[in-house]
Amino acid sequence: MKLITRNTDYAVRALCCIAEQKQEVISGDQLVKSLEMPRPFLRKILQTLNKEGLLTSSKGKGGGFALAASPEGITLIEVMKIFQGPIKLSEHKFKKSDCPRINDCLLKKKIDEIEKEVIVKLKAITISSILKNRR
């Protein structure tokens, strides 16, 4: 019942780390050292973030990754969508298709209300607001 998967969590940590960096561009290997996470896993995450337009990348010596937007402009929900798909707290599948009862499920209606509020909260979280949380 976890809201955030490891993909997303690592991606956010990487984005935070890049945002804090003095030099704009930082290589994957430097990030591995700072963040202590499995190299090939982080590499894949960085590639995805680049493909989705949250990072820019450059190859070759001196290359690496940089933020494509300011830390204020990168929201958590955006990262979640990339790695976890759209937020659906009350998804209810039955062998790949939706539950036949989904339209009259009373519980689903209640959960949908909670979902709306969670989405509002998530939209308010950005890389910069996460960094501000720190002491």
Partner DNA sequence: CAAAATGATACAATTATAGTATCATAATAG
Partner DNA sequence: CTATTATGATACTATAATTGTATCATTTTG
84 near a second copy, rule: CB under 8 A: yes
Q: Smaller CB distance to ligand FES: residue 81 or 108?
A: 108
Q: Smaller CB distance to DNA: residue 88 or 132?
A: 88
Query: At closest approach, how far in Å is the CB of 118 from DNA?
Result: 15
Report how far residue 72's alpha carbon sits from residue 90's, in angstroms, rounded to the nearest whole number.
29
DSSP string, 24-57: S-B-HHHHHHHHT--HHHHHHHHHHHHHTTSEEE
Output the CA angle 132-127-32, nearest 5 degrees: 105
- Which structure tokens are listed for 51? 């493909």
Among positions 7-46, residues that touch a second copy (CB under 8 A) are 9, 12-13, 16, 36
67 near DNA, rule: CB under 7 A: no
Q: How many residues in the shown chain lie near a second copy by CB under 8 A? A: 44
47 near DNA, rule: CB under 7 A: yes
Cα distances (Å, whole numbers) of residue 128 to 35, 37, 81, 111, 114: 18, 22, 18, 29, 25
Query: At closest approach, how far in Å is the CB of 12 from ligand FES?
Result: 8
- Which structure tokens are listed for 29? 């290997």
Write out the residues near DNA by the rule CB under 7 A: 1-2, 5-7, 27-29, 38-41, 43-44, 46-47, 50-51, 57-65, 84, 93-96
